[in-house]
Structures are given as structure tokens and as C-alpha cells.
Structure 1
Amino acid sequence: MSSARFDMSDVRRLERHLARVVPRARRDTRAVVVRGAVNIKKDWKANARATARKHGRHYPRSVGYDMGSYGPDIFMAIIGPDKGATQGALGNLLEYGSVKNPPHNDGGRALATELPRFEEQLALIAERGLAWW
């Protein structure tokens, strides 16, 4: 019976690389989520200013965001009107419409605008993290 030898140098190099890149990827990912939330909030407010002029003129000021996370690796942003703010409770009606009012889709349009930029930035973080050769 012969013994097989295995060169672990590449595995150790990958281990060192990941030890360096994972904290950076976490930091960069959180920054991308924050930037995306800010962009969506700004666009949502701008869209709402243009569509809710007469009956919802205070509504755009109610739009904001909150950051959250689940452990060290999952970041989220909750973006939308604050129901406690002036006209914030109109958010569902203005965004999705009703029987007598068409939907404005202010938040949906803001999200659609930001999504390609958001995905591009996350892809760059992943690409940078995987480039270890």
C-alpha cells in the first residue's frame, strides 16, 4: 500500500485570501446596500413630488429607510413611507392605487432604476473576492 501526498499550499493560500477578503466584502456589501437605499429613497421622493402634487404634497417627506441585518452577512434596507409621518399613511393608496385611483408606482420605479446599479456593485464585490490567483 502506498501513501498519497497532497500539496496543500494552494488551499492555505485560498484560506489566507478569504480571511482577508471576507471582512472587506462584508463592509463593502453593507455600503452598497446603504447607497442603494439612499438612491431609492431619493428617487421615490422625486417621483412622488411629480405624481402626488395636489392631494399628497406632504407625502414625499414621509419616505425614508431603515437598515437592518441578520448576523454579519445579511444586510437589508426597508424603504418607504413612514405611516406615522404626515400623509405617510397614504403610501399604499398612492403606490398601488385603488378602485378610483390609478397606482403611481413611485417606489417601484425607483427600485427598477436602482436595481441594475445595485447588482453591478455586488458583482464587483464578488469578483474581487474570488480573484485570488
Structure 2
Amino acid sequence: MSAGIVIVGLEGLVADLASSTPRLAGNAATAVAVTSRKVQQSARARVRGHRHIPQYPASITYDVTAGPAGAEGEIGPDKNRAQGPLGNIIEYGTPKNPPIEHLGPALEENAEDLVHGIEVALHQALP
């Protein structure tokens, strides 16, 4: 014998959630884009001013991909730009060169901004 639970009165909430999906997806993509831009700017600022890699900061870009499963931001050096292929060497260093950590710290610095942006996206999506 199995027990069942009947919940009454959630039809309105279920309808609200179903209708808010497109708004939530758009708002989440915006939140990811804003945070990605902030991470990019922070990473560029952290690595700017080094005489041997003057063009590297400009190689740091970001892309945002949004779809039904959510939004995703990719931030880092574009290997097709000047000095972009040096990203791993700069971030992690070599036996002869110390690391210049910039991407990791920039991401950590802006993590709370992403959480806040997603919270705002949720509140704005629900009617």
C-alpha cells in the first residue's frame, strides 16, 4: 500500500513559474553578461602595466551564451589576439617567471555580484 499526497492551490504558482521562464532566461543572461564584463575589466586592470606584455590586457575578452538550460559566461584571453596565447603562462607562471594572477582573483572579486544578479533576475521574472 502506498501513501499519496494531494496538494491543492498551487495551480497559480505553477502557471506563474511556467510563464516566467522566458523572462528569467533573459534576466539571467543579462546578469551573467554584466558580471562577465566586470570580471574582464578587473582582470585587465590587474595585469595592466607590465612592460613585457603591453598588449595582453586587450586580449582578455568574454562571451555569453544563453539557452534553455541557462546562461554561461566565458572570460579569458583570446588566443587570436596579440599576446593572447600567453594567458596560461601569465596566470600560472613558469619555473623562471612568477605568476601574475589576474583571472582567478577577478572572478572571486565578482562572485557576489553574480549571486546578486541572479537573485534580481529571479525577483524580476516572477509576476
Name the TM tier (shorter chain): 0.7 to 0.9
Greater percentage in helix: 1
Which whole-Å deviations, capped at 9, do the CAs of 1:25-75 have from their partners, x for residues lacking one?
Answer: 11110100110111111111111104xx11101100111012224x41321
Equivalent in 69, 77, 82 of residue 78 of structure 2: 82
User: What stretches of structure 1 of length at least 5 have no aligned partner?
Assistant: 1-5
Identity %: 30
Larger relative CO (CA 8 A, sep 6+): 1 or 2?
2
**Aligned amino acid, residue 33 of structure 2:** V
User: What stretches of structure 2 of length at least 5 have no aligned partner?
Assistant: 1-5
The 2-side partners of 1:37 and 1:15 are apart by 32
- State TM-score, norm by structure 1: 0.80
Larger Rg: 1
Displacement after TM superposition at 1:118 (Å)? 0.7
1:92 alignment partner in structure 2? 88
Summarize the alignment of residues 1-133 of structure 1 with structure 2, pairs less than 5 Å apart. 8=8, 10-50=9-49, 53-69=50-66, 71-126=67-122, 128=123
Aligned-residue RMSD, C-alpha: 2.2
For this pair of structures, how many residues does the alignment match? 122
Q: Is the 8 A contact 2:24 2:125 kept in 1?
A: no
